Amino acid sequence: MGVLGPLLTIVFAWLLLDEGFSTTQMIGCALVIAGVASVSRR
């Protein structure tokens, strides 16, 4: 559940404010999801 806040912020900024969504942000999102998944499995 901790991963939803930052990801939703990026998605809403992209949808509502017409902000850019770069490759670097996509990689960052993937790393956050992987980190949260790794920690939550323990």
Tell me the average confidence (pLDDT) per consecutive run of 10 residues in the chain, 42 residues long: 76 89 87 84 76
With vertex at residue 8, the alpha carbon angle to CA 17 and CA 41, rounded to the nearest 5 degrees, is: 160
Q: Which pTM was predicted?
A: 0.61
Is the separation of the CB atoms in 33 and 3 below 8 Å? Answer: yes
* pLDDT score at 1: 60
